[in-house]
Amino acid sequence: MKEWKRRYCKFCRLRDLMLDEVNWWWKVYYLVDYMFAYGCYKLGVEEYWNYRFDQLRRSGRKEFIVGGKRDRIYNICNQKEYRRLVFDKIEFNTLYDRFIKRRWINLSTCSFYEFNVFF
């Protein structure tokens, strides 16, 4: 229940930013539609708006890899001991530096001067 309340509050904040001129009926419709989409696809609020789920039918929604489907793919394709690398960009870049074909910088440890030189 706490999770739904958090999602509802986040949904309302984003909805108000995007739907200021929409009447209350459509706001309720979008909220209910999001709840069904979350139940079926486990997508986040941002995904609902960014991928325009409000304008897609069920067949169009199935084409996106969001939420639950993304997590299943992630777990199948990544061994447990390496999964943290997907989310830790600095550790990934440090470990695989020779394969990265671009410059990169660690923003948490660089100085302002190093930052300016980098950019």
pLDDT tens for residues 24-68?
Answer: 777 778 888 888 888 888 888 888 888 888 888 888 888 888 888
pLDDT > 70: what percent of the chain? 82
Number of alpha helices (DSSP H) and beta strands (DSSP E) in the chain:
8, 0
Output the average pLDDT for the chain.
Answer: 81
Lowest mean pLDDT among 56-60, 96-100, 112-116: 56-60
Please compute the mean of the pLDDT values over residues 68-93 and round it to a whole number.
Answer: 85
Residues 85 and 90: their CA atoms lie apart, in Å, by 9
Cα distances (Å, whole numbers) of residue 96 to 14, 57, 106? 37, 41, 14
Q: Which has the higher per-residue pLDDT, 5 or 19?
A: 5
Rounded to 10°, the helix 67-77/24-41 angle is 20
- Ordered DSSP codes for 67-106: HHHHHHHHHHHS-GGGHHHHH-HHHHHHHTGGG--S----
Which distant-in-sequence residues (6+ apart) come within 8 Å of 41 by Cβ? 61, 64, 66, 67, 68, 69
